[in-house]
Chain A
Amino acid sequence: MEPAADVVILGVGYMSGVIAAELSIPKFNGDKPYKVVAITKGPYWDYVNDFSTTKYDEWGVGLGRKYDSPLPLQSTTIRNTPYQFALPVRRYTMPIQYHALGHGVGGAAQHYGGTMGRQGPWGYQMLSQTNTRYGPGAIDTINPHNDLQDWPLQYYQYEPYYVQWENAHGLCGNYNGSTDNPGSDSSGYPWMSQNYRLPPHPLTPAAQLFQSTVQSAPFNYHPFPHVNALASQPYVNQYGVPVNPCVYDGYCGGLCDYACETGAKANAAYRTIPAAIKDGNFTLVVNSFIFRLDTDPTSGLVTAARYYDPQGNVHIQPGTVFFNGMWGYNMIRIMLLSGVGAPYVWNSDPTAVSGTVGRGMTNGYSPYRGTNVSGTLSNIGGNAYPAGNAGGGSVDIYDLMDDNFNHKDLGFIGGSQIGVGGYPGGGPGNITFAGGVSSASMGGTFKTSQKDKYLQTKTVLSSTPFAPDLPTTDNYVDLDPHYTDIYGDPLARLTYDWTPNMYVGATYLANKVKDIFTAMGASNVTVSNTVLPGAVHNDWWGHHLRGGCRIGTDPTWSVWNKWNQCWSPTLKTPFNIFGAGEITNTSGDTVPSGTHVAGPQSYRAAEGIKQYLLQGTTHSLLT
């Protein structure tokens, strides 16, 4: 039995880092001596010693997955419908299961692309806005077995928390609207009370061409530099953590994202945990696998976390308040294994489903493969070998997203963030290329096509826009009845396939993007064959999960309330477990970074935990 802590943090990724800094450091927690313990199954990577001479290794990183969560430890099973037998993911490789689970301090954000981007007001009220503008029942036609819900708070209520998140992690961008006027949306970007902390990275020539094209007639869109969390300048955050800037070595993205040897790539290891260690009453427990939460049989309150240390010994860590910062499926799995919260029970009749943990699963971004639009800019070449980073260089628009255009009779809601011009060498491409081979990848003629391919004399534009994946009662997570992790506990099972809204939107949006590429002067602008709903099926677990463990106003369909605090079993006493992550996002348009949308929730949870600790178990956070 370990000494009791005030706050026990499960997993030490992005969100957990915020809780650690905000709750353990007296300057940030109201001068309290709170003891905070954080537990992670992986190591505490030292980016200078562990990454600087070894990360330039596509085979080791992209196939060997040397920095990632080992599959023999735990995996996830996947099926498309409730009528199928789910199969485990046994192997990570390109190009499908490219994004592995994070492992250790910093979590998945040790090796991600750094993309960010705030979600605008519409993303928080997708259901009510659609019903208002397009009529009640519109959503049910578009999304059979619809389970879309509004968030518990609106955008403007999250806005101050976005600012804290952005300052802590050093986001780079440039807001073109007026920070003084909340009513101004002249930039096409949701209103910001402060500009981003750091300036954008240098734009590529292709991005500048896109920018000038879409700003002009007939489009008159509102382009902005792609927002990211790869420090463009040295700076010190509010926790006193100094940050080194990006050196543009280009081993950053590609389909398999890379760890950062300078610490420019924001994550908990480089922004929040160092401050908790230095200034907080904070204990970090590494290489320790949390397998269960203990609960009190009468009240249902969580009383301790149990974990295996590297030797396999069981440790019990008691606490007053718990924060579930595990990634995605693991957040859901630990709750299901421990009997915390109400497990989702599927029924083929959508009105007969019950429970909330595992409900409302969507894949927020990128796993979809469908209608593509491409074109060639013959007068712009570039260096496609590693040079640059994964988040800078490009320009985006939100004008073809949210309800920023009239969707009457279009058959879909929302849209896509469209961007052009990332650094061609933002990530190495060899393992991606090898992983994508087909029968055409053989023979002398094909080999000739690979000569000097990194020395580009033209730029190929490519876009696969899609509308948001919407929650239904048929896409969910539960525990697998057949497969287990290395310790014998059931794996999480994903039952999921892409929903029609994505495809119907894609057909419309691809033609809009075609117009843009044509106006940019691209030659050979081509829209590929339309991919119909149901023609392609999901076969991986994705990474930008959204929903599955949602926050909301109602305990019948959400796990956490507006403070990211778990609804209690009795609804009488507030519950002593909080959680935040992309998996707690209620809904969203195709803003690529559900992480940025989850960020403010971690600050909400931090504030909620502070209130809970101050006022004890009788204080209700529901008001």
Chain B
Amino acid sequence: MNATGGSTSPIAYPGGNLSTDTGPVQGITASPRVGSGINYQYPLNLREFWRVGLDALQKYAKDPNGPYKAPFESLSATSQLTLLQDLWDNKPASFNNIRPSDFAYELTFMTWAGFLMDPIYGGNQNMVGWTYTGFNGVNFGNFYGEGKDQKALMVATTPTRLKPASLAQYQQQASGSA
């Protein structure tokens, strides 16, 4: 599978073959990328998908016949990581009728989104994620009076760290209240 896009199997749909008058139809299998394009085809909205996936993940963790035999939150960090890798590798024999790797993708995507999106959505509290990665948010060089100019920053050969600013701060400043 090409991680940056382009499915490595023909576009597909789970549920068997169709045939037409012009000949046999190529077998249809789900492209292993949940997310966008034609690749999300579950008859579940995302809230349901998460409920179903979290339940399946916990069942897999607690399975007395499985490798972990305990609730996910009680596992060691190493074991948690291994379990998540199992999902990416589609190791669980059953997973509430969704593909484990599809849930692994959503989980990983939302974890990073939670770390890096504007705090107005509830994650990245106090811009901890932006401070970590060196992202500026809505500070274009002078939010805190630094006197930097974006026209210079955009062609610089050495980077300049800016203290990040959030959308809420930006809107406060724009409305003259901060």
**In this complex, what residue of A is CB-closest to B172?**
A53
In this complex, which of A348, A383, A428, A453 has the most chain B Cβ atoms within 10 angstroms of its Cβ? A383
Contact across chains for A204 and B154 when beta carbons are under 8 A apart: yes
Cβ-defined partner of B25 (8 Å) among A52, A83, A452, A457: A83
Contact across chains for B41 and A90 when beta carbons are under 8 A apart: yes
Q: In this assembly, does A26 line the interface, its C-beta being within 8 Å of a C-beta of chain B?
A: no
Give the docked Cα–Cα distance between A144 and B113 (Å).
44
Q: In this assembly, does A80 line the interface, its C-beta being within 8 Å of a C-beta of chain B?
A: yes
Contact across chains for A539 and B3 when beta carbons are under 8 A apart: no
Q: What 10 pairs across the A-B complex have the smallest Cβ distances? A: A388-B154, A439-B88, A455-B159, A97-B36, A369-B6, A540-B37, A536-B6, A430-B116, A454-B134, A455-B134
Give chain B residues whose Cβ lies under 8 Å from the Cβ of A379: 157
Cβ-defined partner of A433 (8 Å) among B25, B116, B161: B116
Q: In this assembly, does B39 line the interface, its C-beta being within 8 Å of a C-beta of chain A?
A: yes
Contacts from B to A (Cβ < 8 Å): 2-13, 18, 20, 22-26, 28, 31, 33, 35-41, 81, 84-85, 88-89, 104-105, 108-109, 112-113, 116-118, 120-121, 132-138, 140-141, 150-151, 153-162, 167, 170-171, 174-175
Nearest-neighbour CB distance to chain B for A89, whole angstroms, equals 5
Contact across chains for A380 and B157 when beta carbons are under 8 A apart: yes
Give chain B residues whose Cβ lies under 8 Å from the Cβ of A441: 108, 112
Give chain A residues whose Cβ lies under 8 Å from the Cβ of B121: 59
Interface string of A77-107 (1 = CB under 8 A from B): 1111111111111111111111000000000
Nearest-neighbour CB distance to chain A for B91, whole angstroms, equals 12
Contact across chains for A381 and B26 when beta carbons are under 8 A apart: no
Give the docked Cα–Cα distance between A367 and B157 (Å).
31
Give the docked Cα–Cα distance between A93 and B156 (Å).
31
**In this complex, what residue of A is CB-closest to B121?**
A59
**In this complex, what residue of A is CB-closest to B174?**
A53
Contact A81 B26, CB 8 Å, known A87-B11, A369-B6, A387-B141? yes
Nearest-neighbour CB distance to chain A for B7, whole angstroms, equals 4
Q: Total A-B pairs in contact (CB under 8 Å)? A: 237
In this complex, which of B25, B39, B132 has the most chain A Cβ atoms within 10 angstroms of its Cβ? B39
Contact across chains for A428 and B135 when beta carbons are under 8 A apart: yes
Contact across chains for A381 and B112 when beta carbons are under 8 A apart: no
18 pairs, A vs B, C-beta closer than 8 Å: A53-B171, A56-B138, A85-B28, A87-B11, A91-B37, A96-B33, A430-B112, A431-B113, A434-B113, A439-B85, A439-B104, A452-B132, A454-B133, A454-B136, A536-B8, A537-B11, A539-B5, A539-B33
Among listed A31-39, A129-137, A247-255, interface-contacting one = A247-255
Contact across chains for B132 and A536 when beta carbons are under 8 A apart: no
Contact across chains for A456 and B35 when beta carbons are under 8 A apart: no
Contact across chains for A452 and B157 when beta carbons are under 8 A apart: no
Taking CB atoms and an 8 Å cut-off, the chain A residues in 235-283 that contact chain B are 247-250
Nearest-neighbour CB distance to chain A for B164, whole angstroms, equals 9
Cβ-defined partner of B113 (8 Å) among A63, A369, A370: A63
Q: In this assembly, does A210 line the interface, its C-beta being within 8 Å of a C-beta of chain B?
A: no
Cβ-defined partner of B150 (8 Å) among A95, A388, A436: A388
**In this complex, what residue of B is CB-closest to A459?**
B157
Q: A393-B155, A430-B135, A452-B132 are in contact. List 8 more A-B contacts (CB 8 A).
A: A56-B118, A59-B117, A63-B113, A80-B11, A96-B37, A451-B132, A451-B133, A453-B133
Give chain B residues whose Cβ lies under 8 Å from the Cβ of A348: 22
Nearest-neighbour CB distance to chain B for A506, whole angstroms, equals 13
- The number of chain A residues touching the other chain, given as a range, is 35 or more
Give the docked Cα–Cα distance between A431 and B167 (Å).
16
Contact A248 B38, CB 8 Å, known A442-B108, A539-B6? no
Taking CB atoms and an 8 Å cut-off, the chain A residues in 356-371 that contact chain B are 367-370
Q: In this assembly, does A521 line the interface, its C-beta being within 8 Å of a C-beta of chain B?
A: no
Cβ-defined partner of B155 (8 Å) among A88, A202, A384, A433: A202
Cβ-defined partner of B112 (8 Å) among A88, A367, A434: A434
Give the docked Cα–Cα distance between A538 and B157 (Å).
37
Give chain B residues whose Cβ lies under 8 Å from the Cβ of A436: 3-4
Contact A540 B35, CB 8 Å, known A59-B121, A204-B154? no
Give the docked Cα–Cα distance between A56 and B136 (Å).
11
Contact A383 B118, CB 8 Å, known A83-B25, A537-B10? no
Give the docked Cα–Cα distance between A566 and B174 (Å).
50
Give chain A residues whose Cβ lies under 8 Å from the Cβ of B134: 385, 451-455
Contact across chains for B31 and A539 when beta carbons are under 8 A apart: yes
Give chain B residues whose Cβ lies under 8 Å from the Cβ of A456: 159
Contact across chains for B36 and A93 when beta carbons are under 8 A apart: yes
Nearest-neighbour CB distance to chain A for B6, whole angstroms, equals 4
Give the docked Cα–Cα distance between A457 and B120 (Å).
30
Contact across chains for A454 and B135 when beta carbons are under 8 A apart: yes
Q: In this assembly, does A443 line the interface, its C-beta being within 8 Å of a C-beta of chain B?
A: yes
Give chain B residues whose Cβ lies under 8 Å from the Cβ of A249: 140, 150
Taking CB atoms and an 8 Å cut-off, the chain A residues in 121-145 that contact chain B are none
Contact across chains for A58 and B117 when beta carbons are under 8 A apart: yes
Q: In this assembly, does A6 line the interface, its C-beta being within 8 Å of a C-beta of chain B?
A: no
Give chain A residues whose Cβ lies under 8 Å from the Cβ of B41: 87, 90
Give chain A residues whose Cβ lies under 8 Å from the Cβ of B9: 537
Q: In this assembly, does A382 line the interface, its C-beta being within 8 Å of a C-beta of chain B?
A: yes
Give chain B residues whose Cβ lies under 8 Å from the Cβ of A79: 11
Contact A385 B135, CB 8 Å, known A423-B154, A536-B2, A539-B11? yes
Give the docked Cα–Cα distance between A457 and B159 (Å).
7
In this complex, which of A83, A368, A380 has the most chain B Cβ atoms within 10 angstroms of its Cβ? A83
Contact across chains for B18 and A91 when beta carbons are under 8 A apart: no
Give chain B residues whose Cβ lies under 8 Å from the Cβ of A452: 132-134, 161
Give the docked Cα–Cα distance between A424 and B136 (Å).
14
Give chain A residues whose Cβ lies under 8 Å from the Cβ of B171: 53-54
Give chain B residues whose Cβ lies under 8 Å from the Cβ of A380: 157
In this complex, which of B6, B84, B156, B167 has the most chain A Cβ atoms within 10 angstroms of its Cβ? B6
Q: In this assembly, does A437 line the interface, its C-beta being within 8 Å of a C-beta of chain B?
A: yes
Contact across chains for B10 and A80 when beta carbons are under 8 A apart: yes
Give the docked Cα–Cα distance between A384 and B154 (Å).
8
Contact across chains for A57 and B167 when beta carbons are under 8 A apart: yes
Give chain B residues whose Cβ lies under 8 Å from the Cβ of A430: 112-113, 116-117, 133, 135
Give the docked Cα–Cα distance between A204 and B156 (Å).
8
Give the docked Cα–Cα distance between A370 and B39 (Å).
19
Contact A382 B157, CB 8 Å, known A53-B171, A348-B22, A439-B85? yes
